[in-house]
Amino acid sequence: MDKKQEETKAQNLLTQINEVIGKLEDDNEEVVAKQLHQVFIKLSRKIKVKYNGSK
């Protein structure tokens, strides 16, 4: 798998996490949503660094 494909998969994963956060918030599962949001932020930074700040 080339770097571009890896990056796309990682971005898809971010999107997926974001969707789960949205569903949790819809159901007032705010605590879990907040914790997952922290994971999202950290992962987002990590992906940005890993793929040379693209996107």
């879990």: which residue's tokens?
A: 32
Task: Among 4, 27, 30, 55, indicate the residue that binds another protein (CB under 8 A).
Answer: 27
- The Cα 10–Cα 47 span in angstroms is 7
Cα-Cα-Cα-Cα dihedral of 36, 21, 42, 31, to 10°?
-30
Size of the site for another protein (CB under 8 A): 19
Q: Measured from the CB atom, is 24 or 53 closer to another protein?
A: 24
Q: Which residues bind another protein (CB under 8 A)?
A: 6, 9-10, 13, 16-17, 20, 23-24, 27, 29, 32, 35-36, 38-39, 42-43, 46
